[in-house]
Amino acid sequence: MDILSSLMDGFATALTPMNLLYALIGVLLGTAVGVLPGIGPAMTVALLLPVAMVLEPTSAFIMFAGIYYGGMYGGSTTSILLNTPGESSSVITAIEGNRMAKAGKAAQALATAAIGSFVAGTIGTALLVVFTPIVVEFAVSLGSPSYFAIMVLALLAVTAVLGASRLRGFASLGLGLAIGLVGIDSVSGQRRLTFGQPLLADGLDIVVIAVAIFAVGEALWVAAHLRRTPLQIIPVGRPWMGKQDWKRSWKPWLRGTAFGFPFGALPAGGAEIPTFLSYVTEKRLSKHPEEFGKGAIEGVAGPEAANNAAAAGTLTPMLALGLPTNATAAVMLAAFTQFGIQPGPLLFENEGPLVWALIASLFIGNTLLLLVNLPLAPVWAKLLRLPRPYLYAGILFFATLGAYSVNLQAFDLVILLVVGALGFMMRRFGLPVLPLILGLILGPRIEKQLRQTLQLSAGDVSGLWSEPIAVVVYIIVALVLAWPLLFKAWRRMRPRTAVAVGGGTVAAGPAAGGPTAERPTAERTTAVSPGQAAAADGKTTDANTADATPANHGQEKS
Amino acid sequence: MSIIVGYVPTAEGTAALDRAISEAHKSQSRLVIINSSRGDAIVDKRYAQAQDINEVTERLEKEGIDHLVLQPVRGNDVASEVLEAADKYRAELIVIGLRKRTPVGKLIMGSTAQQILLEASCPVLAVKAGA
Amino acid sequence: MTSLSTRLKGRSELGVAALLGAVGALVLFDAARLVVPYSQSDPVGPKALPIIVGSLLLVCAVMLAVNVLRGGHGEAEAGEDIDLSHPADWRTILPLAGAFIANILLIDWAGWVISGTVLFWGSVWALGSRHYVRDGLIALALALLTFYGFYLGLGIALPAGLLEGIL
C-alpha cells in the first residue's frame, strides 16, 4: 500500500500542468530524434543536460523519460518505412515491418508497433513499480563489499557480453576509466593525470565527455560516410489495425513483454537478445509460419513489445542500484550526479518524490506517445526530408553550445574536439562507446566502494569477499568472463545440438536480413532490352527486400 | 543531337516524359532522361527508385527509342544537372514538367524550371500534368 | 622496408593499439609519480586504480596489436544514415573540423554570436549545402536566438565579444 500511495503522489506531481508540458516536450523531442537519422535519445539527453540544469530536477527527469521512451517509438517508424534500423534491437522490426509495408500493410505495421510498444511499456513500467522496491530493499542491506562486486559485475558484463569484440570492449572500458581518473582524488587530495594544468584539476566534466562522444563523434562519423543515394520512403496514411490484426497481435505483445523486461533488467541483457527470442518464438507458435520473412504481423508485434519492455526493465537497476546498462540510462545517471543527487540504493529514500514522479511520468509519457504517434505517423515521416547539412551542423552547433555553457571556457571546447575525435576513431575501428561512458561514470564510484571496503577490513584483501552476496557475484563475474571458453568446450562436446540451437537463433537474426544489398549506384546508365529489364527488375526487388542495413553491433543509436 | 527530359516519378514528370517521347519519335533523336537528386536529405521522393526506372526503360524499348538514363547524385541541384547534360549531349530540346505553385511559394522556394528556362542555350518545352 | 610497409598497409588499426599503449603508459607513469604516505584510513590509496587501469590498457594494446597482425579487424559502426561502401570522406571532415576550431579561437574574443554563426555556416558548407545566403541567415538567426535564449531563459551569459554593447 505504501508503494501505491507513493505512486499516487508521483502522479500528482507529474500531472501538474508544468510537468505535463515537459513530458509532452520530451515525448515530441524523443519521437523526432528517433525518426531522424544519426541522432538518438542518448545524444539528445546529453545535449540537453546543460540546459536542464536550470530546471527543477523532477521536471528535467520527466522530460528525459519522455525522450527515452519516445526515441523507441520514433525508431520503429523509420525501421518500418525506410528499412534502416537505427539500433540492433530494431533490426527485426526493420526486416519484418518493412516487408509488411512493402506489401501495402504499412498502416498495420505501424499500428501494431505503436500499440505493442504502449502495451509493453505500460506493463514494463508496472513491473518496474513492483520489482524496484524489492531490489532496493535487498540492496540497502548490502555492504560495501557486495556493492563493489555488483558494480564490477555490471561493468564487466556490459563490456564482455554486448558488442562484437570483447577485446575492443575492454579497450573502450579502459579509456573510460582513465578519463574518469583525471582530477583531484577526493580522499587523498592528490592530483591525478592533470599534468599541472589547473583546468584539469576538477576533472573532465561528464557532460562535456558525453556530448563529445555521442554528439561530436557521431556527427563527424556520419559526415564522413554520408549515404549518397536518396532512399524512397513508403507512403503511409494513418496507422490502423483490423480485427484480424488485433487477434494476431495481442499474444505476441504479451510474450514479447515477458521476454523483454527481465533481459532489460539484467546487467548485460540489453534489448537485442529478447527481440530475437521473441521473433523465433512467434515464428514457432504462429499459424502462418510461411508469412515470416515476408511480412508477418506477429514478427513486428512481438519484437517491438520486447524492445520496449526491455527499455522499462533497464530502469530497474538504474533506479534501484544506480547501475545503467544502456547509453541513455548512463547519460540520465550522469544527470543525477549533475543535480547533486546520489544514485544508488538510497535514491528511493532520499529522493522518493522525484523517483516516483519519474515513474509516474513513464506511464503518462507512454500514453502521450500513443496519442502522438498513431495519428501523426505520416507527419513524423516528413521529418526525413530535412536536409542533412542542417541536421548535422545543428548537432555540432548545439554540442558546442552545450559544452561551452557548462563552464564558459573555451578549453572545454578543445576537450570536446579531442574526445570527439576519439569517438570518431572508436566508431571507425569498432570500439563500442557504451563501456567508455560506463567506465567514466562508474569508475569513480567503484573506486570509492573499493576504498571503503578495504578501510573496513583495515587493508585486508579478504574484506572484498567478506559478504556471501559478494562471493556469489564474483562467481557470476567469473562465469561471464569464462563464458566464451565454456561455450566453445560445450560446443565441442555436443556439436550437433549446439549447431541446431545456434543455427536457429542466427537464422532468425541478422542472417535473415542478409548482407547489405547493393543500393542503386549513384549514376546509373540504363540501356537494357525488355527481357533484361524484367530480369533486372525481379532481381532489384528481391535485393531491396533483403536489404536490412546491419545495425551497430550491440550498440544503440546514440 | 538529343532531347533531354527532366524526369521525376510524379504526374508532371510523367507528362514531361510522354511529351518527350513523342518529340523523340518526330525528330528521331536520342532521348536522354535525367532524374537527379541533391542527395542532401535521407529521403527524396523525386528520386526514382529502380522499379520506376525499369518501367521507363521497358517502355522506351517497346517504342524503339534510342535512350540513355542518368541518375546523378552529386550534391548539385536538379537544374544544373539538366543544364550540364544538355551541354554534354548537345541538346536540341529540353522537356520539363511544371508543378502548380502559388506565387508566394515560388518566391520563397526559387524554381528549378525557372533556372533551366533562363540558362538553357536550346529551346525548352514546359509541360503541365493533365494537359 | 618494403615488406614492412606492405605488412603495415591497411593496418591503420595498429594506431589504435599504439594509442591505447600510450594512454596506458601515461596512466602508469602518472601513478608512479604520486607519493602517498601509508594511511590507516585509506589503505588502498589513490594509486591502486590508476595501476589497474594502466595495466588494463597496456594489456589491451598488446592483445589488439596481436589481433590486428593476425588479420583481425574491428567492424566500423553502421547506422541509418551511413554508407560504409565508400571510404571516409576527408573533404567533409577537415572543413568541419576547421569550422569547429575557428569557433574555439573566436568564441572568447569575437563572442558567441559571431563564432556560432561561423561554426554553423561553415559546417553546413562543409556538409555540402551551397545556399550561401540562406545558410548565413539561418546561422545568424540560430546564434542570436541561442544567445538571447540562454541569457533570458537560462540566465547564462554567453560572451558577447566584439558586439559587446550592441547585443
Which of these three, C69, C101, C127, is where a domain ends?
C69
pLDDT digits (tens, 9 = 90+) for B71-117: 888 878 888 889 999 999 999 999 988 877 666 655 555 578 888 88
Q: Which letter does DSSP use for residue A55 in this model?
A: S
**DSSP per residue, A302-327:** HHHHHHHHHHHHHHHHHHHHS---SH
Give the distance from residue A248's alpha carbon to the nearest chain C alpha carbon, in angstroms: 29
Residues found in chain B:
131
A185 contact C CB<8A: yes
Q: Return the closest-CA partner of residue A40 out of A169, A168, A210, A161.
A: A210
With an 8 Å Cβ cutoff, are C80 and A86 in contact?
yes
The answer to the question of residue C57 being in a domain is yes
Q: Of A118-122, A349-353, A358-362, A519-523, where does mean pLDDT reach its minimum?
A: A519-523
**pLDDT for position A298:** 93
With an 8 Å Cβ cutoff, are A450 and C26 in contact?
no
Tell which wins on pLDDT, A540 or A91: A91
Tell which wins on pLDDT, A518 or A19: A19
**Burial of A195 per CB tally in 10 Å (0-12, 13-18, 19+):** exposed
- Asked if A249 and C106 touch (Cβ cutoff 8 Å), the reply is no
A229, A518, A557: best to mutate for the B interface, most B CBs within 10 A? A229
Q: How many CA atoms lie within 13 A of A427 on its CB side?
A: 32
In terms of residue numbers, what domain contains C114? 90-163
Tell which wins on pLDDT, A358 or A505: A358
For A388, the closest of B42, B58, B62 (CB atoms) is B42
- With a CB cutoff of 8 Å and minimum separation 6, the contacts of B51 are A537, A540, A541
- Asked if A34 and A72 touch (Cβ cutoff 8 Å), the reply is yes
Q: Let me know whether C148 and C96 are in one domain.
A: yes
CA–CA separation, A271 and A17 (whole Å): 33
pLDDT digits (tens, 9 = 90+) for A40-64: 899 999 999 888 888 899 999 999 9
Chain C residue numbers touching A408 (CB-CB < 8 A):
156-159
C83 contact B CB<8A: no
Rg (CA), chain C: 24
A383 contact B CB<8A: no
Q: Return the closest-CA partner of residue C61 out of C95, C108, C93, C13.
A: C13
Give the distance from residue B98's alpha carbon to the nearest chain A alpha carbon, in angstroms: 21
C81, C130, C132: best to mutate for the B interface, most B CBs within 10 A? C130
Using CA coordinates, name the residue in chain B closest to A544: B50
Coil, strand, or helix at residue B4? strand
Low-confidence stretches of chain C (pLDDT < 50) are 1-2
- With a CB cutoff of 8 Å and minimum separation 6, the contacts of A203 are A180, A182, A183, A184
What stretches of A5-58 adopt beta strand conformation (E)? Answer: none
Q: Of A123-127, A395-399, C82-86, where does mean pLDDT reach its minimum?
A: C82-86
What stretches of A53-185 adopt beta strand conformation (E)? Answer: 183-184
Coil, strand, or helix at residue A227? coil
Tell which wins on pLDDT, A82 or A550: A82
**pLDDT for position C85:** 82
The predicted model gives A244-255 an average pLDDT of 93
What stretches of B24-90 adopt beta strand conformation (E)? Answer: 30-34, 67-70
In terms of residue numbers, what domain contains B75? 2-128
pLDDT digits (tens, 9 = 90+) for C97-124: 999 999 999 999 999 999 999 999 999 9
pLDDT digits (tens, 9 = 90+) for A288-312: 888 888 889 999 999 999 999 999 9
Give the chains touching A; criterion: ≥3 Cβ pairs < 8 Å.
B, C
Count up the domains in chain C and report the number: 2
With an 8 Å Cβ cutoff, are C96 and A550 in contact?
no
pLDDT at residue A547 greater than cutoff 90: no
Beta strand pairing status for A191-192 and A183-184? Answer: antiparallel
H or E element, residue B124: strand B124-128
pLDDT at residue A520 greater than cutoff 60: no
Residues found in chain C:
167
The predicted model gives A442-452 an average pLDDT of 91
- Asked if A124 and A311 touch (Cβ cutoff 8 Å), the reply is yes
**pLDDT for position B47:** 85
- Phi/psi of residue A424, nearest 5 degrees: -60, -50
In whole angstroms, how far apart are CA A258 and each of A111, A122, A262, A358, C20? 20, 12, 7, 23, 41
H or E element, residue A218: helix A217-224
**pLDDT for position A523:** 37
For B41, the closest of A84, A386, A533 (CB atoms) is A386
Q: Which letter does DSSP use for residue C161 in this model?
A: G
What confidence category does residue A500 fall into, taking pLDDT thresholds of 50, 70 and 90? very low
Chain B residue numbers touching A231 (CB-CB < 8 A):
42-44
CATH classification at residue B74? 3.40.50.620
The answer to the question of residue C95 being in a domain is yes
**pLDDT for position B107:** 56
Chain A residue numbers touching C108 (CB-CB < 8 A):
410
The answer to the question of residue C77 being in a domain is no
Q: Let me know whether C112 and C62 are in one domain.
A: no
Q: Return the closest-CA partner of residue A144 out of A426, A359, A385, A449.
A: A449
pLDDT at residue A538 greater than cutoff 50: no
DSSP helix, strand, coil percent of chain A (3-state; round to 5): 75, 0, 25
- With a CB cutoff of 8 Å and minimum separation 6, the contacts of C121 are C99, C135, C136, C139
> Which residue blocks in A339-433 are alpha helix, DSSP H?
347-350, 352-382, 388-407, 410-428
Give the distance from residue B36's alpha carbon to the nearest chain C alpha carbon, in angstroms: 16
pLDDT above 70 coverage of chain A, percent: 88
A257 contact C CB<8A: no
pLDDT at residue A529 greater than cutoff 90: no
Q: CA dihedral defined by C23, C29, C32, C34, rounded to 10 degrees?
A: -80
The answer to the question of residue C15 being in a domain is yes
C64 contact A CB<8A: yes
pLDDT at residue A275 greater than cutoff 60: yes
The answer to the question of residue C78 being in a domain is no
B63 contact A CB<8A: no
**Burial of A178 per CB tally in 10 Å (0-12, 13-18, 19+):** buried
Chain B residue numbers touching A230 (CB-CB < 8 A):
37, 39, 41-44, 47, 73
CA–CA separation, A390 and C134 (whole Å): 11
The predicted model gives A426-443 an average pLDDT of 92
Chain A residue numbers touching B39 (CB-CB < 8 A):
228-230
Count up the domains in chain B and report the number: 1
**pLDDT for position A525:** 38
The predicted model gives A96-121 an average pLDDT of 92
Chain B residue numbers touching C128 (CB-CB < 8 A):
40, 75
For A458, the closest of C43, C56, C125 (CB atoms) is C43
Q: Return the closest-CA partner of residue A311 out of A329, A295, A299, A293.
A: A329
Residues found in chain A:
558
Residue type, B39: G
Interface A-B: count of C-beta contacts within 8 A: 93
C19 contact A CB<8A: yes
**pLDDT for position A459:** 81
The predicted model gives A353-359 an average pLDDT of 94
pLDDT digits (tens, 9 = 90+) for A303-345: 999 999 999 999 999 999 999 988 899 999 999 988 989 888 8
Number of H helices, E strands in chain C: 6, 0
Give the chains touching B; criterion: ≥3 Cβ pairs < 8 Å.
A, C
Tell which wins on pLDDT, A495 or A396: A396
Instruction: Report long-range pairs for A387-390 (Cβ below 8 Å, ≥24 apart).
Output: A387/B38, A387/B40, A387/B41, A387/C129, A388/A37, A388/A38, A388/A226, A388/B40, A388/B41, A388/B42, A388/C81, A388/C127, A389/B40, A389/C123, A389/C124, A389/C125, A389/C127, A389/C128, A389/C129, A390/C124, A390/C129, A390/C138
**pLDDT for position A532:** 39
Interface B-C: count of C-beta contacts within 8 A: 6
| Averaged pLDDT score across all residues of chain A | 84
With an 8 Å Cβ cutoff, are B40 and A387 in contact?
yes
What confidence category does residue A512 fall into, taking pLDDT thresholds of 50, 70 and 90? very low
A159, A397, A413: best to mutate for the C interface, most C CBs within 10 A? A397
**pLDDT for position C148:** 93
CA–CA separation, A280 and A286 (whole Å): 10
B109 contact A CB<8A: no
Using CA coordinates, name the residue in chain A closest to B58: A530
- With a CB cutoff of 8 Å and minimum separation 6, the contacts of B29 are B1, B2, B3, B23, B66, B92
The answer to the question of residue C157 being in a domain is yes
- Asked if C97 and C88 touch (Cβ cutoff 8 Å), the reply is no
Query: Tell me, what's the ipTM?
Result: 0.92
